[in-house]
A and B are shown apart, each in its own frame.
Chain A
Amino acid sequence: MFGKALIRALEDSLGRDFTYEMRQAWEKLYQYIQSQMSIDILEKEAKDRIQTL
């Protein structure tokens, strides 16, 4: 959701200057951001699951 909001804002702000390659690079960066931000959540979920076993 945030990635979509970010890329749409870049697109609106830059118009035609926002190239396909730029969009692809931001999309890849956002995937990375999301994966890093989720690590602690995933670790916590895994620990919780282990504790309930």
Chain B
Amino acid sequence: MDEKHRDHLPSLEIDQAETEVDGFTSKDGHSKQKNDASSLHIPSKSEIEMKDLGILEDNFLTKTQISHIRKSWVMVQRNKGIGVMILDNLFNLNPKLMSLFNFTKKQNWQLSNEFELHTHSLEGTINKIVNNLESPDVLENKLRDLGSKHNDLGV
């Protein structure tokens, strides 16, 4: 793997995420005790902290899921060309989408610099997402920006 690719690798925090209990991890490593006598649940300090991080929200990810995503993304980066594979799949699933990419109008566009740049930019975007899974604010800004750019293009 060359330096350029290594720089893009997300940091690994897999070991920290193995003690998940009911969708969240107790910071001190102890399991959360269920209180059968009462349905009243007083959130612990670590729960409140994790809620602040967006991790416990219904539409987001548990720590274990974040570690699954990071682990698989690191593994994928070892095999080259995930960006190429994603775009290939996209064009196979819907060939009409090719017309949205100017480089596909060229002959042998798979070998063009534009195609390569687009696949690198796609991988960079996924890297940024994978590296910011605990930072909903950063993610939201990035994704909203991405959404408006793609909306402008009619994607």
Chain A residues near B (Cβ < 8 Å): 1-2, 4-6, 8-10, 12-14, 17-19, 21-22, 24-26, 28-29, 31-33, 35-41
Contacts and interface: CB of A to CB of B under 8 A. Distances in A.
Contacts of A24: 65, 68
Contact of B76 (A14, A21, A32, A35): A14
Interface in B54-103: 59-61, 64-66, 68-69, 71-72, 75-76, 79, 82, 85-90, 93-94, 97
Contact of B129 (A18, A22, A33, A41): A33
B106 to A, nearest CB: 21
A9 B148 contact: no
Interface stretch (B25-33, B43-51, B110-118, B136-144): B136-144
Give the dominant DSSP class at A's interface.
Answer: helix
Given A33-B143, A41-B151, A13 B85 contact: yes
B89 A5 contact: yes
B12 interface: no
A4 B66 CA distance: 19
B53 interface: no
